[in-house]
Structure 1
Amino acid sequence: MVADLAILYEHPAWFMPLFAALDARGVGYATLQPHGAFDPAETVAPAPLILNRIAMSAFLRDAEHPIFWSSARIAQWEGAGARVLNGTAALAVDTSKARQLSLLARLGLAIPKTRVVHRAADVEAAAESVGYPLVVKANIGGAGAGIVRFDDRDALRAAVADGTLPTSIDGVLLVQDYVPARNGTVTRMETLDRSFLYAIEVEGGGAFDLCPADACQVPGSTITMTAVEPDRALRDAAEAIARAASLDLGGVEVMVDDRDGVARFYDINALSNFVARPLDVLGWDPHARLVDRLIAWIEETR
């Protein structure tokens, strides 16, 4: 018997709360691992509704990561008639910070000054047009991976010369203005079905890894998370981003530039984990809302 819902995931721990919430509501589902071989000529999907939970940080856990394999697999399921939540359109945005920034700019939102390169030889010239301090980022990152700050030309030249620049699994790098976040905090807004769900303010002490799930945090992490109510302009922006990026479920990150007070958007995340200890931080569990919507999506696909 084919399940109404299938969930594609690769992290061994992140989705236990979701599975528990589905079990508590009696929702049947199948779990799919991104392993093995598939026939691209197949015309049958594993379920009429599939939830994609492949993280861009998968390459940190396995050199033989499933990111691009999963993209092809999801396209094949869509071609077979399945509805895939966070499907190929969302993945096209999730797998490229450069695309994310272009989308944000098209929506009229402020972003950090950025140049996109694919050769180390072009990094220094890109840096001169951006200015210091700056960060060099992997186009495909996750959990803060592939981000290095450079405060001056000499430090950057040394990294280019000795081959210690960050690398990206697609060969693309971003040279980006280092934005001093006001009060050292960023705001992470979560959306569900293109609508605002909740927001947290994250203070990371200068760290680039600001993943809100316990499983992402290193022992002794000083990251703090506080529930906040962003103003209407930010909420509207998050919803506009979710619509433009085809995000059925995902997060948007923004920080206020302490130099000029401008809210600069910089990240769109289709695999956005809900905050750890939600009852303590939010006072409610967003997994319940997600299960409600999944049940409705199941009904829509029947």
Structure 2
Amino acid sequence: MSKIYVIHENNQWTEHLFNRLKELELPYEDWLLENGKVDLTSLPPEGIFYNRMSASSHTRGHRFSPELTSAVLSWLEHHGRTVINGSRALQLEVSKVLQYLELEKFGIKTPKTIATVGKEELVEAAKTFQGKKFITKHNRAGKGLGVQLFQSIEALQNYVEGETFEEPVDGITLIQEYIESPESFITRCEFVSGKFVYAVRVDTSEGFELCPADACTIDDLFCPVGEEPSSSPKFQIREGFDHPILKKYERVLAANNIQIAGIEFIQDKNGEIFTYDINTNTNYNSDAEEKSGKFGMLEVAKFLGNELEKSVLV
């Protein structure tokens, strides 16, 4: 029997999807890739395969889950199975360097970024920002891992030589120009079936770890999800949002065979947009969705159901 196979490493991030699949009475199977094996001489089962592997898997003790997923996806694609967010999506998920280069290829402006390996190289790279504010971040990240704001070379030097320095899992630390926005928020655009669904405004006044999944509050004390300050919610869907950049985003996703993603941007004081993240393992905030009546995981489940039906008819 053909079914939907969901490839992932975090049960807390699949709960909402599985509930929607059950609601639509769609057959599915959970492929949890914390550990595992791939028999390259075997045939994959019939069905469609949705890759939800996360760049932040190492923060949950699953250091090699992306590598295992890469092997699984290669095996599935070799046998011609339908894979949603396949090998190319995984490559971009675990490398912001690849994300930025791909965005620039389609005329989408990204912040000035330098990739470095080594603490001395990181400090030297910072000198090219000539007195401007800059941030560091991990190349393979998720949830804003490794993001630190600096206003001087001296502050960075103290950080890299101190005990709080976070070593990136792939060894690559990015140093990036800091884009100042007149208001403390970023915009995350959600796409399903490669098409725009909605945009969400995310308040950044309390920090950079911006994972929208409700489950983040369980694992990460500093992930500001689900907590609503008295003034306004952390996540709010931007009703009626439209901008020419959305078409560019859709072209990027199509060119890289990415069907489901969240893309984040920030606007500076001049209104210029800088795009800085493609998240191919996108999550949704239930409070924001409940208020607007738009539900990302429901759209994902419907899309997977349509793909399953098409695969059966072939």
TM exceeding 0.5: yes
> How far did residue 99 of structure 1 move?
0.8
Which residue number corresponds to residue 104 of structure 1? 103
1:253 has 2:264 as partner: yes
Which residue number corresponds to residue 76 of structure 1? 75
Name the CA distance, whole Å, in 2 between partners of 1:183 and 1:135.
Answer: 18
Kindly indicate whether the alpha-carbon contact (under 8 Å) linking 1:181 and 1:256 is maintained by their aligned counterparts in 2: yes
Change in CA separation of 1:39 and 1:237 when aligned onto 2, cut-off 3 Å: closer
- The one-letter amino acid of 1:158's match is N
Which residue number corresponds to residue 115 of structure 2? 116
Name the CA distance, whole Å, in 1 between partners of 2:245 and 2:306.
Answer: 27
Kindly indicate whether the alpha-carbon contact (under 8 Å) linking 1:257 and 1:263 is maintained by their aligned counterparts in 2: yes
Deviates more, 1:95-104 or 1:219-228: 219-228
1:233 has 2:244 as partner: yes
| TM-score, normalised with respect to structure 1 | 0.92
Q: Secondary structure at the match of 2:141?
A: coil
Name the CA distance, whole Å, in 2 between partners of 1:122 and 1:164.
Answer: 18
- The one-letter amino acid of 1:37's match is G
Cα deviations by residue, 1:212-255 (Å, 9 ceiling, x for unpaired): 12112456745611111333313223212322332110100001
CA-atom RMSD in angstroms: 2.0
Q: Secondary structure at the match of 2:55?
A: coil
Name the CA distance, whole Å, in 1 between partners of 2:281 and 2:23.
Answer: 23
Kindly indicate whether the alpha-carbon contact (under 8 Å) linking 1:137 and 1:166 is maintained by their aligned counterparts in 2: no
Name the CA distance, whole Å, in 1 between partners of 2:62 and 2:23.
Answer: 35
Name the CA distance, whole Å, in 1 between partners of 2:182 and 2:106.
Answer: 23
- The one-letter amino acid of 1:273's match is N
| Runs (4+) off by over 6 Å | none
Name the CA distance, whole Å, in 1 between partners of 2:61 and 2:27.
Answer: 29
Name the CA distance, whole Å, in 2 between partners of 1:194 and 1:84.
Answer: 14
Cα deviations by residue, 1:26-68 (Å, 9 ceiling, x for unpaired): 1111111114432452331134310111111211111544122
Kindly indicate whether the alpha-carbon contact (under 8 Å) linking 2:145 and 2:209 is maintained by their aligned counterparts in 1: yes
Which residue number corresponds to residue 205 of structure 1? 205
Name the CA distance, whole Å, in 2 between partners of 1:141 and 1:285.
Answer: 26
Kindly indicate whether the alpha-carbon contact (under 8 Å) linking 1:114 and 1:130 is maintained by their aligned counterparts in 2: no
Which residue number corresponds to residue 298 of structure 2? 288
Cα deviations by residue, 1:82-137 (Å, 9 ceiling, x for unpaired): 21111101111111001111111111111111111122221122111124311111
Q: Which structure 2 residues correspond to residues 111-150 of structure 1 after superposition, within 5 A?
A: 111-131=110-130, 132-150=132-150
Sequence identity percentage: 25
| Structure 1 gap segments, 5+ residues each | none
Which residue number corresponds to residue 94 of structure 1? 93
Kindly indicate whether the alpha-carbon contact (under 8 Å) linking 2:195 and 2:250 is maintained by their aligned counterparts in 1: yes
Kindly indicate whether the alpha-carbon contact (under 8 Å) linking 1:250 and 1:269 is maintained by their aligned counterparts in 2: yes
Kindly indicate whether the alpha-carbon contact (under 8 Å) linking 1:113 and 1:130 is maintained by their aligned counterparts in 2: no
Kindly indicate whether the alpha-carbon contact (under 8 Å) linking 2:237 and 2:288 is maintained by their aligned counterparts in 1: no
Kindly indicate whether the alpha-carbon contact (under 8 Å) linking 1:133 and 1:149 is maintained by their aligned counterparts in 2: yes
Kindly indicate whether the alpha-carbon contact (under 8 Å) linking 2:34 and 2:62 is maintained by their aligned counterparts in 1: no
Kindly indicate whether the alpha-carbon contact (under 8 Å) linking 1:115 and 1:175 is maintained by their aligned counterparts in 2: yes
| Structure 2 gap segments, 5+ residues each | none
Which residue number corresponds to residue 284 of structure 2? 274
Change in CA separation of 1:36 and 1:94 when aligned onto 2, cut-off 3 Å: closer
Cα deviations by residue, 1:269-300 (Å, 9 ceiling, x for unpaired): 00010222354232132333222211111122
The count of aligned residue pairs is 300
Which residue number corresponds to residue 42 of structure 1? 41
- The one-letter amino acid of 1:296's match is N
Change in CA separation of 1:296 and 1:102 when aligned onto 2, cut-off 3 Å: same
Kindly indicate whether the alpha-carbon contact (under 8 Å) linking 1:42 and 1:80 is maintained by their aligned counterparts in 2: no
Q: Secondary structure at the match of 2:244?
A: helix
Change in CA separation of 1:82 and 1:125 when aligned onto 2, cut-off 3 Å: same
- The one-letter amino acid of 1:238's match is Y
- The one-letter amino acid of 1:267's match is D
Q: Secondary structure at the match of 1:91?
A: helix
Which residue number corresponds to residue 254 of structure 2? 243
- The one-letter amino acid of 1:177's match is E
Given candidates 268, 284, 307, the residue that maps to 1:297 is 307
Name the CA distance, whole Å, in 1 between partners of 2:62 and 2:268.
Answer: 35
Change in CA separation of 1:248 and 1:159 when aligned onto 2, cut-off 3 Å: same
Which residue number corresponds to residue 187 of structure 1? 187
Which residue number corresponds to residue 157 of structure 1? 157
